[in-house]
C-alpha cells in the first residue's frame, strides 16, 4: 500500500472542490485533490453527446432516486465534476432566500451582501456573462411565448467567455479553478476514489483510497493530511461520511428540483447544440420553466416517455426541442451507504402537493410553447396525450400521477446541512462537520434547502466564503 502526505486533502474536484483547491493552494497551503473520475479534456466530446455521457457521467447518466415515482438524476464523475457536463447557467442565490436561510437555519455570516461580494468575485474569475448577440431559436421561443402571455422571463447569465466573434467557451473547473490550483502547487489525482476516512477521537488521521494506475491496475493508497475537505456533491459526500462512521444528520434531508418535460415540435428546425438561456420567472422560485439539452438521443427518450408510438415525430427530430417545468419540492430524500454495495442508495419522496405543482407546471409549459409557435407537444407522462391546441390540454391535469409521471433532476442539495443548530445540521455555518475538528464539507450538500435555481453559483460563492473562514483560523 502506498502512502501520500499532504497538508490539505480535497476530495472531489467539482464546483466546491475546485474553488477550495484554488483558494487554499494560492494561500500557500500544500493541497492534494483526489478525484474519483478520470481527467477528460473539456473538448474531447461534443456537449451532451453519448460519448460525453459514457466518459464523464456517473453510471453513464443512468442514476436513479428510488421513490413513487422514481426520479432520474445526473452526476458528473470526472475531473471538474458536474461543471463539465452542465449547461453553465449561473444565476446567483436570490437575496431573499439567503436571508431566510440565515434566520431559519441559524447560519452565521450569511448575509445577502456578503454572499453577493463573493459571487461578484467568482463571476469575474469565470467571465460570467449573457450572450453577446441574439439568443438561439430554442431560447428565443421561451422569450417569445412568455412575452405573448405577459409572463416575466429573463436570460440567465452563463459561465462562458466569448471571443470577438461571439463564440463562447464554457468555463468548467478543468479550464479555470483547477489549472489555478495546479499553478499554485496543488496536486490533482484523477481516478482516485476515497473510500473511507479514518478517525481517532475528534480528528481524521487518514483517508484510504483506491487509485487506477496506467496499465489498468489498481493500487491501494493511504493519504495523510492535517485537514480534510469533502466536496463530492450531495450524494457522494454523505455516502463517504457514512462509510467513515459519521452519520448524525448526514444523508437525510436531501432536496432536489424535480422536473417534468415536454418535447415540443416546431414548424421549423431548432438548434440542438446548447441549452436555452431564457427562464420563465413568472411563478417565482417554486416553479421555473426553461429548456433542456436536445440531442437526438435525448429527444428519442423524451418522446418515448409517453409510451405511445413516436416514429413519425422522431423522423422530424431536428424540429423538436425539450423544455421543462421544475419545482422546489416539499418532499425529502435520503442518501444511504449500504455495506457491500459500490454505490449509495438514494431515495426521494414527493408529496401530493409536489405532484399538483408539477401538473400545474406541465400545463403552464404547454401554454407557453403553443404561444411560442409549437405545433405538437409530447409530455413526459405515460399515456399522456399528444397536444396540438389548448383545448386538448385538460387531460394532462389528471395524468401527472405517481404511476405515470416520468421525472428527472440535475440539481441535488442539502444532504449535510450547515448551520448552528446541531439538532438539524451536519456541519456548522462554515462546513466543519460536527464532532470532527479537522473535517469540512464544501459543496452542494451544505445548502440547507433547494435554491430554486441552478446551484453552481451559490455553491462556488459559499465555498469561497468557507475557505476564507478556514484561512482566518489556519496559517500555512
Grid cell in block for residue 144: 417569445
> Cα 34–40–42 angle (5° rounding)?
115
Residue 90 in contact with residue 457, Cβ under 8 Å? yes
Phi, psi of 396, rounded to the nearest 5 degrees: -65, -30
Residues 416/249, Cβ–Cβ less than 8 Å: yes
Torsion of CA 237, 240, 241, 245, to 10 degrees: 170
Q: Distance between CA 453 and CA 352 in Å, rounded?
A: 22
Q: How far is residue 125 from each of residues 111, 121, 171, 174, 293, measured CA to CA in Å?
A: 22, 6, 9, 14, 26
Cell numbers 469575474 correspond to what residue? 124
DSSP per-residue letters across 33-64: EE-SS----TTSS-TT-HHHHHHHBGGGG-EE
> Which residues carry out catalysis?
411
- Nearest Cα to Cα of residue 14 among 422, 376, 456, 408: 456
Contact in structure between 348 and 251 (CB atoms under 8 Å): no
Peptide bond into 22 cis (omega under 30): no
Amino acid at each position: 500500500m502506498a502512502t501520500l502526505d499532504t497538508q490539505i486533502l480535497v476530495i472531489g474536484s467539482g464546483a466546491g472542490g475546485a474553488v477550495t483547491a484554488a483558494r487554499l493552494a494560492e494561500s500557500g497551503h500544500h493541497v492534494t485533490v483526489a478525484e474519483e473520475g478520470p481527467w477528460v479534456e473539456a473538448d474531447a466530446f461534443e456537449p451532451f453527446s453519448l460519448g460525453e455521457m459514457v466518459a464523464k457521467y456517473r453510471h453513464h447518466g443512468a442514476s436513479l432516486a428510488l421513490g413513487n415515482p422514481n426520479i432520474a438524476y445526473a452526476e458528473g464523475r470526472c475531473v471538474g465534476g458536474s461543471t463539465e457536463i452542465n449547461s453553465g447557467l449561473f444565476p446567483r442565490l436570490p437575496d431573499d432566500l439567503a436571508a431566510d436561510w440565515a434566520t431559519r437555519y441559524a447560519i452565521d455570516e450569511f448575509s445577502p451582501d456578503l454572499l453577493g461580494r463573493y459571487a461578484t468575485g467568482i463571476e469575474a474569475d469565470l467571465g460570467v456573462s449573457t450572450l453577446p448577440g441574439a439568443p438561439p431559436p430554442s431560447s428565443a421561443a421561451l422569450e417569445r411565448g412568455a412575452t405573448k402571455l405577459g409572463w416575466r422571463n429573463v436570460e440567465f447569465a452563463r459561465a462562458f467567455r466569448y471571443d470577438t466573434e461571439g463564440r463562447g467557451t464554457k468555463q468548467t473547473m478543468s479550464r479555470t479553478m483547477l489549472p489555478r490550483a495546479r499553478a499554485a502547487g496543488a496536486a490533482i489525482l484523477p481516478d482516485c476514489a476515497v473510500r473511507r476516512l479514518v478517525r481517532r477521537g475528534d480528528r481524521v488521521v487518514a483517508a484510504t483510497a483506491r487509485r487506477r494506475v496506467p496499465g489498468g491496475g489498481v493500487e491501494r493508497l493511504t493519504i495523510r493530511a492535517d485537514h480534510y475537505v469533502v466536496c463530492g456533491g450531495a450524494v457522494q459526500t454523505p455516502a463517504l461520511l457514512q462509510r467513515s462512521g459519521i452519520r448524525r444528520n448526514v444523508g437525510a434531508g436531501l432536496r432536489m428540483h424535480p422536473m417534468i418535460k415536454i418535447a415540443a415540435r416546431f414548424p421549423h428546425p431548432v438548434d440542438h447544440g446548447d441549452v436555452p438561456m431564457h427562464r420563465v420567472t413568472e411563478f417565482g422560485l417554486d416553479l421555473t420553466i426553461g429548456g433542456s439539452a436536445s440531442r437526438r438521443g435525448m429527444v428519442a427518450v423524451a418522446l418515448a416517455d409517453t409510451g405511445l408510438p413516436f416514429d413519425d415525430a422522431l423522423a422530424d427530430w431536428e424540429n423538436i426541442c425539450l423544455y421543462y417545468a421544475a419545482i422546489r419540492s416539499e418532499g425529502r430524500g435520503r442518501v444511504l451507504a449500504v455495506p457491500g454495495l459500490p454505490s449509495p442508495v438514494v431515495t426521494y419522496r414527493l408529496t401530493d402537493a409536489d405532484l399538483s405543482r408539477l401538473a400545474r407546471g406541465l400545463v403552464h409549459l404547454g401554454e407557453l410553447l403553443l404561444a411560442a409557435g409549437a405545433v405538437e407537444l409530447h409530455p413526459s407522462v405515460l399515456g399522456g396525450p399528444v397536444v396540438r391546441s389548448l383545448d386538448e390540454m385538460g387531460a394532462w391535469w389528471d395524468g401527472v400521477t405517481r404511476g405515470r409521471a416520468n421525472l428527472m433532476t440535475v440539481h441535488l442539495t442539502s444532504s449535510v446541512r450547515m448551520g448552528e443548530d446541531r439538532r438539524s445540521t451536519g456541519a456548522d455555518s462554515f462546513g466543519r462537520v460536527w464532532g470532527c475538528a479537522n473535517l469540512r464539507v464544501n459543496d452542494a450538500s451544505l445548502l440547507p434547502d433547494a435554491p430554486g435555481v441552478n446551484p453552481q453559483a451559490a455553491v462556488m460563492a459559499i465555498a469561497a466564503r468557507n475557505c476564507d473562514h478556514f484561512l482566518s483560523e489556519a496559517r500555512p
